């Protein structure tokens, strides 16, 4: 079962136990994956539900629900100040590592103002990576927000902000207890002092990712690996 | 001090308190970094020693040693089965995260046979990333080895192999106790069963990086983030 190909479908495509396939999905299944009528794959709605599905000439039949658990017990939101380049290459590993939501942030040091095309591309990457890494859910990639707006509107019980060059406690020393955690990570040059102060005023606790200086595209991946590892190592023992 | 530019020099360039600069280093300091005679930078020998240095017209003067600690307490060696593409983009974050040694492995499922040019490129990336991430040491990138040879010749007190889709304990549950740890990570498709058996016979303990399937270029970064985090979170509390 684990080796079957996965395809994300939208709720509107599902009618009882039938999935109406879009032309690009038919192309993907028949041409790219080279499946034939009668072959099986896994259809997932991106919200946590998956079904064993059988390909038919013009639709797919849902045979039975598949119960598995590949999501983290705590929903991780990452607020990421947009780096100059390389954000595409961040979304994919973050999805593999289990992020629930990514909030692109326009910070004081952000230079990029992403086009709608970029956002669409990041969402497509998240969907592909969710299929390939065998996740149950597709992470949400929100529209970009200013840091101030994000601090006020993004809700999370536990709030952390990564600060370089400080004496903050290591991220891995934080006991993850809440049902949701939000971690804010800066771009090239890090957060400004004013941004850190504003975050602390919004109950964000400064944490460290270690002694070395990580690039803006490495820090989120390292943070997500630590957040996932901290949760799964506790569960798997 | 932390904000000064860094430059790796070789032992043969250092003569008492003078560093003879190579033409490409002069170009880098004067043209790329736009330093002027009298400006200061940090010279590092890549083996753990650093000095505050002052640029002179045709050499650099070492003013005083700099004592800082950005290396991990345990030397981490990663044996990485070479992925089809993307290894360049793995070396840089691994260096930032503190790896001591990378062993490129030709495994049963490896398709790439890297040219000497590639190896030279990986070593240049490791040096650049060590300078930029403020490490004391430049990680060693060994010549590629077959997995069997590596299992026999690479010495490490604690030995781990990452296995996907199994019920192995999570990497983060391993107590890192030895002065050196070696972690073997597969490429696309993972290790073959025969390779896992051979590693176990060589005292490698199978571990998991979590429930989701990570790409061959994501798994080493996640593993290194966890290994560094496990060490530094213990030190920093």
**Tens digit of pLDDT per residue, chain B (237 long)?**
557 999 999 989 999 899 999 999 999 999 998 999 999 999 999 999 999 999 998 899 999 999 888 999 999 999 999 999 999 999 999 999 999 999 999 999 998 889 999 999 999 999 999 999 999 999 999 999 999 999 999 999 899 999 988 789 999 999 888 899 999 999 999 999 999 999 999 999 999 999 999 999 999 999 999 999 999 998 754
Interchain contact B233–A (C-beta under 8 A): yes
- Tell me where in chain B the CATH 2.40.240.20 domain(s) lie: 6-66
Scanning A9-68 for CB atoms below 8 A from B yields none
Kindly identify which residue of chain A lies nearest to residue B165, measuring between CA atoms.
A2
Which residues of chain B have a CB within 8 Å of the CB of A209?
Answer: 229
Residues 191-220 of B with CB under 8 A from A: 208-215, 217-218
Q: Do B226 and A229 touch (CB under 8 A)?
A: yes
Reduced to 3 states, what is the DSSP secondary structure of residue A232? helix
Contact B236 A98 (CB under 8 A): no
Which residues of chain A have a CB within 8 Å of the CB of B233? 170-173
**From-to residues of CATH 3.40.1280.10 in chain B:** 75-235
Q: Return the CATH architecture of domain A6-66.
A: Beta Barrel (2.40)
In this structure, CATH architecture of domain A75-235? 3-Layer(aba) Sandwich (3.40)
**ipTM of the complex model:** 0.92
Candidates A210, A215, A221, partner chain B, best to mutate (most B CBs within 10 A):
A210
Which tens digit of pLDDT belongs to each residue from A154-209? Answer: 999 899 999 988 789 999 999 888 899 999 999 999 999 999 999 999 999 999 99
Q: Which helix (H) or strand (E) holds A76?
A: strand A75-81
């Amino acid at each position: 079962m684990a080796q079957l190909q996965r395809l994300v479908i939208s709720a509107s495509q599902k009618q009882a136990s039938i999935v109406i396939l879009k032309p690009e999905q038919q192309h993907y299944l028949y041409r790219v994956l080279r499946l034939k009528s009668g072959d099986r794959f896994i259809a997932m709605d991106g919200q946590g539900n998956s079904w064993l599905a059988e390909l038919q000439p013009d639709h797919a039949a849902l045979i039975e629900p598949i119960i598995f658990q590949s999501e983290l017990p705590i929903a991780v939101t990452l607020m990421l100040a947009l780096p100059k380049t390389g954000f595409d290459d961040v979304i994919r590993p973050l999805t593999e590592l289990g992020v629930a939501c990514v909030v692109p942030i326009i910070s004081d040091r952000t230079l990029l103002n992403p086009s709608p095309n970029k956002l669409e591309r990041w969402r497509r990457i998240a969907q592909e990576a969710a299929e390939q890494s065998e996740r149950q859910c597709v992470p949400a990639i929100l529209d970009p927000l200013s840091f101030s707006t994000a601090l006020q509107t993004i809700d999370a019980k536990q709030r952390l902000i990564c600060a370089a060059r400080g004496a903050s406690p290591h991220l891995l020393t934080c006991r993850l207890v809440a049902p949701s955690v939000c971690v804010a990570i800066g771009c090239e040059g890090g957060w400004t002092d004013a941004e850190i102060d504003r975050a602390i005023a919004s109950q964000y606790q400064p944490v460290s990712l270690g002694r070395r200086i990580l690039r803006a595209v490495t820090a989120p991946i390292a943070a997500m690996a630590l957040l996932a590892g901290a949760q799964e190592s506790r569960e798997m023992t």
